[in-house]
A and B are shown apart, each in its own frame.
Chain A
């Protein structure tokens, strides 16, 4: 295989099996379910590397350009690996007017990772998201499923430290 990033044999066999099972379970026109298949693939693998996109294309009998076009169009899909914890800072209007941009700046500073990037230690990925429907608690930030409300820039250090020390303990 000349092109390494497109080498599908490096994909985890068990995860591929789950993905195949999902694709098999789709009734009707499978191509129409491309977005659902990509959701499933991202749920299983964490992100959508090029070889996985190619795999999906082959499985649904679509061109890989079509699959890549869809992956890059929708912001929910990641082509790059994501950290163990995804820190999403809400940039919805309510949060913005309550200073969410300062919270985001602080998160970027403390983790050392930029927006939509993973920190060097592989722990955090930073995202700005739209209203998550908790405007009453603005500004809001989530780390995986945990929601932090009324966050001040100064609180960020403490919150991140908490996750880092949890990692250190488990080592």
Chain B
């Protein structure tokens, strides 16, 4: 197959196998999370079973990217029946084949059970997890086999680049993106069309399109899911960007830890080259474009665009001062546009559906959707994509299903190591770039960590600071030494060796680091501390005044004297006779939590 004109592409699209060519499509998630719970074995079993029953002609198994419903994986979706099975085990495959696929009897025990609802959900589209979602960036994730270029083509793949090459000048493409009001999803929210325009305007013999796939936020994996679930869409978007700014070369800078994503990208690039969708004279035009992969090597700061460029050139990834911006002097000192993976994933959809379609979604200054990674104390862990302007309440209670044990959720940490906390008074706020900033947090890449009444905010802040002080590149003193000092103060506090003055020290130090650091890492590193200190000052004070309870205790009103706690305590610090109230000797308690786990009547109180 060789595609040398738009017509060739259309003809090919017609010939590619489609979902409707099969009576049933069985979609099995092969994302990282499901893969680690045996989805590969499930796929093998499924194929074998279908083969045994001679069903492989009418029923097709599709290995897809992530469905987003990771906490319930492995997931199998049956189309067109619109049935989703959760937590499927290898042993369940036979029953799904024999009962559902052969006899149209749904296997009820594998359906998802909504919280507080008697019935399990028969239709996937009826699941609350999906109802409020709107999938643009994730449109193909969980729908197609990412390793099969034909499945991408069937879903209008490479039609957006075809459309612009046939109908638009580069300037017009930039106008379309500007009109859509798409803002960068890598954290800063800079308008993408404007960035392209600035890069286009600089005169140069060479320019570069760079895809930032470094994804450093330690609680976010949306970029990874897009790369694993829909790699061709990123290639297509980079081509469109290349055409717009006048670049013939694209580079993808990806974390070395993302092995599966890297392999899928490599395969996608190879497949696109083989059919002529990458290379010279794309689709018969005079536009040439090639894409190369650059590996990172485990440094968070390399997500910062100037550091990323240094790293791609083979140096230590230390940020440079801006200006000059990459749009003027980027990779090899040539004008370069650095865009995030999720930003790119929106591009083909905007081109095909029009900028007006996109700008109608969202809030006044933040258009389109945003993907969030939900984690922490929440029922439905996973990836969700919602229109900008969705409230925290909708995300945590409707999509996320609330707390797994029904406890109260006290805060959400958003924006990772650069972000801050949102407290429950603000859960009704519509989420967009500006509302988050006004609350002292930031969009970041979209990691959302849900915290309940038991979570210790000081520990969370300490966790992030440990991360940033470890990842500081060391170029500037406030960031290198300041974050270390802040970390030491926090450590002192949680070890009950601090004092009330430490709180003021933390604040002053934090403000100074923010104001005097060179790059975004240092400028935002104190945020998690400053923000938790603002909203949960009493938790800091409990440490500072050393009134924090750190040991376990037993509620005498609830204790039934079963002796289980005493028998499980590794340091034998629990006393009490059978059927009498037990006591914990706090001087000996090591706070291991064994008693808490053991107690059948929840009489043990956490510190």
Which residues of A pack against B, CB within 8 Å? 31-36, 38-39, 69-70, 73-77, 91-94, 96-98, 129-138, 140, 147-149
Nearest residue in B to A31 (C-beta to C-beta)? Answer: B314
**Are A97 and B299 in touch, CB under 8 angstroms?**
no
**Are B311 and A149 in touch, CB under 8 angstroms?**
no
Give the shortest distance, in Å, between A168 (CB) and chain B (any CB).
Answer: 27
**Are B219 and A70 in touch, CB under 8 angstroms?**
no
Give the shortest distance, in Å, between A67 (CB) and chain B (any CB).
Answer: 10
Known A93-B413, A94-B381, A134-B70; 9 more pairs at CB < 8 Å: A69-B316, A73-B299, A73-B317, A76-B296, A93-B416, A93-B449, A93-B463, A97-B451, A149-B36
Q: Which of A39, A93, A132 has the most CB of B within 10 A?
A: A93
Known: A76-B256, A93-B447, A93-B463. A136 touches B381 (CB 8 A): yes
From B33, B216, B296, B297, contact of A135 by CB (8 A)? B33
Q: Inside 8 A of A134's CB, which chain B residues have their CB? A: 32-33, 36, 70
Binary interface encoding of chain B residues 19-33 relative to chain A, with 1 for a CB under 8 A from any of its CBs, else 0? 000000000000111
**Are A97 and B449 in touch, CB under 8 angstroms?**
yes
**Are B33 and A133 in touch, CB under 8 angstroms?**
yes
**Are B295 and A36 in touch, CB under 8 angstroms?**
yes
Please name 25 pairs of A and B residues whose Cβ atoms are closer than 8 Å in the assembled complex, sorted by A. A31-B314, A33-B314, A35-B297, A36-B294, A39-B297, A73-B316, A74-B296, A74-B297, A74-B298, A74-B299, A74-B317, A92-B219, A93-B449, A94-B375, A94-B449, A97-B460, A130-B218, A131-B217, A132-B257, A133-B33, A134-B33, A135-B373, A135-B382, A137-B33, A137-B70
**Are B218 and A131 in touch, CB under 8 angstroms?**
yes
**Are B381 and A138 in touch, CB under 8 angstroms?**
yes
Known: A94-B219, A97-B377, A97-B460. A149 touches B37 (CB 8 A): yes
Which residues of B pack against A, CB within 8 Å? 31-33, 35-37, 70-73, 216-221, 224-225, 256-258, 294-300, 311-317, 373, 375-377, 381-382, 413, 416, 447, 449, 451, 455, 460, 463-464, 467, 473
Q: Inside 8 A of B257's CB, which chain A residues have their CB? A: 76, 129-130, 132
**Are A135 and B377 in touch, CB under 8 angstroms?**
no
Q: Inside 8 A of B71's CB, which chain A residues have their CB? A: 136
Q: Inside 8 A of A31's CB, which chain B residues have their CB? A: 314
Known: A76-B256, A133-B32, A138-B381. A93 touches B375 (CB 8 A): yes
Ranked nearest first, the 6 interchain pairs of A and B with the lowest CB-CB distance are A136-B70, A147-B36, A93-B219, A94-B375, A74-B297, A76-B298
From A73, A92, A131, A137, contact of B36 by CB (8 A)? A137
Tell me, in angstroms, the Cα distance from A74 to B73 when the chains sit together: 33
Give the shortest distance, in Å, between A46 (CB) and chain B (any CB).
Answer: 15
Q: Which of A96, A138, A147 has the most CB of B within 10 A?
A: A96
From A34, A76, A137, contact of B314 by CB (8 A)? A34
Q: Inside 8 A of B217's CB, which chain A residues have their CB? A: 131
**Are A70 and B314 in touch, CB under 8 angstroms?**
yes
**Are A70 and B381 in touch, CB under 8 angstroms?**
no
Give the shortest distance, in Å, between A59 (CB) and chain B (any CB).
Answer: 13
Nearest residue in B to A62 (C-beta to C-beta)? Answer: B314
**Are A97 and B376 in touch, CB under 8 angstroms?**
yes
Known: A73-B317, A94-B219, A97-B460. A133 touches B413 (CB 8 A): no
Nearest residue in B to A90 (C-beta to C-beta)? Answer: B218
Nearest residue in B to A34 (C-beta to C-beta)? Answer: B314
Q: Inside 8 A of B312's CB, which chain A residues have their CB? A: 32
Tell me, in angstroms, the Cα distance from A5 to B447 when the chains sit together: 44
Q: Inside 8 A of A96's CB, which chain B residues have their CB? A: 463
Tell me, in angstroms, the Cα distance from A73 to B513 when the chains sit together: 22
Tell me, in angstroms, the Cα distance from A74 to B308 when the chains sit together: 12
**Are B36 and A135 in touch, CB under 8 angstroms?**
no
Q: Inside 8 A of B216's CB, which chain A residues have their CB? A: 130
Q: Inside 8 A of B382's CB, which chain A residues have their CB? A: 135-136
Q: Inside 8 A of A131's CB, which chain B residues have their CB? A: 217-221
Tell me, in angstroms, the Cα distance from A129 to B218 when the chains sit together: 9
Tell me, in angstroms, the Cα distance from A32 to B451 when the chains sit together: 44
**Are A132 and B375 in touch, CB under 8 angstroms?**
no
Q: Inside 8 A of A35's CB, which chain B residues have their CB? A: 294-297, 311, 314
Q: Inside 8 A of B413's CB, which chain A residues have their CB? A: 93
Tell me, in angstroms, the Cα distance from A93 to B447 when the chains sit together: 9
Q: Inside 8 A of A130's CB, which chain B residues have their CB? A: 216, 218, 257, 300, 467
**Are A75 and B32 in touch, CB under 8 angstroms?**
no
**Are A91 and B37 in touch, CB under 8 angstroms?**
no
Give the shortest distance, in Å, between A138 (CB) and chain B (any CB).
Answer: 7
